[in-house]
Amino acid sequence: MKQQTTELQQLADAYRNKVQARMRDLPVYNAALQVETLGFSLYEGRLCGVLITPWCMNLLLLPGADDNWTALAPGKTMDLSFPAGEYSFTLSLTQDIMPHLSLPLFTTVLDFKDQDMARDVAREVLRCLYRETEHKASVDPLATELDKRHKKALSRRDFLRGRLSEQGGYDA
Amino acid sequence: MGIQQTFYEAMREHGITRRSFLKFCSLTAAGLGLGPEFAGTIAHALETKPRTPVIWLHGLECTCCSESFIRSGHPLAADVILSMISLDYDDTLMAAAGHQAEEILEQTIEKYDGNFILACEGNPPLNEDGMYCIQAGKPYVEKLRRMADHCKAIIAWGSCASWGCVQAAHPNPTRATPIHKVITDKPVIKVPGCPPIAEVMTGVITYMLTFDRFPELDRQGRPKMFYGQRLHDKCYRRPHFDAGQFVERFDDEGARKGYCLYKMGCKGPTTYNACSTVEWNGGLSWPVKSGHGCLGCAEDNFWDRGSFYSSVTNLNVPGGVELTANQVGGVLAGAAAVGVAAHAAASVISHSVDSNKGGKQS
């Protein structure tokens, strides 16, 4: 546990001390926010949680004991399963920050008015991530859409009414 | 051009075996990112549905959409054109010319009134009664309106048909106008990009033929499955952005190391398209992978948004959906994002979250 806390501390320090100064003058920087790691817990042997910074909010996975990510190509994507569905993470290998997998939750964080608001959203995201759901997310949005339709099986009533397709044709 | 012939029959006529047909269905399903179970759905649709007649018109454009389309690998454009649809008119690809070609338009209206798809590449100029684009002695806009009156649905190929593109850039001397502003009484699906990705084009057509409807569209009329996310959020260089590592000059160390191109004017943060996931030329590469920023060619008005090389300062773009947030948080994070965007308090977020719980995931 202590080792995990140290790891997270190192991660946050790297963003705070090495990255923050480089991002401060960019239009994507939200001065109302600060660097924070939130809600990290072990998921299938890897630490998983949300990283909040003044320029991004990402879902992060730190390497587990068996992971040797440094041997892989930076930018490689990995599809991982959670109770809420499957998500495509991108491998981050940069000299300033420890290797990790990340999934951007927002394009920018400019609309968060303060850190509390960002924290609320981050907690909510994690809660949903670990919640079993009927409509699982998929790395492929089309497959998800079709899957939903597939599952909406034809009821006996609809069949007798001759309603074979849920909604055919094109709507203007 | 027999509308009664199905795709399967057409393929058999081309000497294709049933085994190859089923393989084609599996490949098409895979190309659309579907599981193997959908190969059966596609096979069933293609076996039983008559081939849909498609009229492909060209207004003010550069033909890059056609150039892209004919290079589709999954499914092969040749399969789409020769077998899946009945491409009855396309002045770039057809053998017929002159009166013979133009007659096809009237024949199509006669035979398939209300049953053909109108695919529009380019847009009509409206100034001087449409005189800036004359086809077969008449303004293009007249041809467009005539065919649109009788079609089932319209596909607006590319940024010209979807938004206006370069010919509509300021001061737009010919008043080049996107399709949805000229034809307002027919369903229009926008497939923007300059050009759109080949597999996105054939993917949209395959979807429409298989399910006889448009795929789910966003508020701007684009298919969510391909335009649901900003490039920035699926970019393989995104970790460099998050780590504050940027290319500052095209010949610097950062460029060699493949850092983020945001400071070089990359429009990825404001562009909804599938380039970073589907990629180009059969998944070989895409602009950012080749070391140049995204120009944002799939976005409205991209020619008038300043230099391609100045970095994006306004990250608010209308429409689209924040798919990642929606996916991760189920409905909830999406609703939260809306609340956040509206500068609502946390309590408002949780309220809108509750009221959206029955909503859709993507």
* CB-CB contact of B323 with B335 (8 Å): no
Which of the listed ranges B14-18, B188-192, B215-219 does the model predict with the highest average pLDDT? B188-192
Choose the weakest-confidence range: A78-87, B166-175, B257-266. Answer: A78-87
**Predicted local distance difference test score (pLDDT) of residue B342:** 31
Question: Which of B141 and A74 is assigned the larger pLDDT?
Answer: B141
**Predicted local distance difference test score (pLDDT) of residue B341:** 32
Spell out the domain ranges in chain A.
2-129, 140-172
Average pLDDT, chain B: 83
What is the distance between the alpha carbons of residues B289 and B201, in angstroms, rounded to a whole number? 22
Residues (pLDDT < 50) of chain A are: 141-154, 164-167
Choose the weakest-confidence range: B71-75, B300-304, B306-310. Answer: B71-75
What is the distance between the alpha carbons of residues B126 and B179, in angstroms, rounded to a whole number? 11
Q: A142 vs B236: CB contact, 8 Å cut-off?
A: no
* CB proximity A172 to B under 8 Å: yes
Please, which pLDDT band fits residue B348 given cuts at 50, 70 and 90?
A: very low
- Is pLDDT at B328 greater than 60 in this prediction? no
**Predicted local distance difference test score (pLDDT) of residue A142:** 44
* CB proximity A164 to B under 8 Å: no
Q: Report the CATH architecture of A2-129.
A: 2-Layer Sandwich (3.30)
Q: B340 vs A59: CB contact, 8 Å cut-off?
A: no
Phi and psi of A60, rounded to 5°?
-125, 145
* pTM (2 d.p.): 0.83
- Is pLDDT at B210 greater than 50 in this prediction? yes
Read off the pLDDT of each residue in B201-228 and give the average, rounded to a whole number.
87
- Is pLDDT at B229 greater than 90 in this prediction? no
Interface ipTM > 0.90: no
- Is pLDDT at B77 greater than 90 in this prediction? no
Helix residue ranges per DSSP H, B244-356: 253-257, 275-278, 323-328, 330-341, 346-355
Report the length, in residues, of chain B: 362
**Predicted local distance difference test score (pLDDT) of residue A141:** 47
Choose the weakest-confidence range: A128-137, B164-173, B341-350. Answer: B341-350
**Predicted local distance difference test score (pLDDT) of residue B359:** 30
**Predicted local distance difference test score (pLDDT) of residue B250:** 96
Question: Which of B361 and B259 is assigned the larger pLDDT?
Answer: B259
**Predicted local distance difference test score (pLDDT) of residue B224:** 84
* CB-CB contact of B285 with B292 (8 Å): no
Please, which pLDDT band fits residue B322 given cuts at 50, 70 and 90?
A: very low
Task: Specify the DSSP class assigned to residue B356.
Answer: T
| Residue pLDDT, tens place only, B1-58 | 445 678 788 777 777 788 877 877 777 777 666 667 778 888 888 788 888 899 999 9
Phi and psi of B347, rounded to 5°?
-65, -35
Closest-CA distance, B16 to chain A, in angstroms, reads 28
Q: Is B312 left (phi over 0), alpha (psi -120 to 50) or beta?
A: beta
- Is pLDDT at B326 greater than 90 in this prediction? no
**Predicted local distance difference test score (pLDDT) of residue B199:** 86
Instruction: Select the residue from B247, B264, B340 to test the A interface by mutation, using most A Cβ atoms within 10 A.
Output: B340
Question: Which of B324 and B226 is assigned the larger pLDDT?
Answer: B226
- Chain A residues with CB-CB distance to B242 below 8 A: 19, 53, 55-56, 58, 92, 102, 104
> At what angle are helices B37-48 and B198-211 packed, to 10 degrees?
70
**Predicted local distance difference test score (pLDDT) of residue B83:** 72
- Chain B residues with CB-CB distance to A23 below 8 A: 244
- Is pLDDT at B317 greater than 70 in this prediction? no
Contacts of B309 (CB under 8 A, 6+ apart): B264, B265, B293
Q: Among all residues of chain A, which has the CA nearest to that of B246? A: A22
For residue A49, count other CB atoms closer than 10 A to its CB: 21
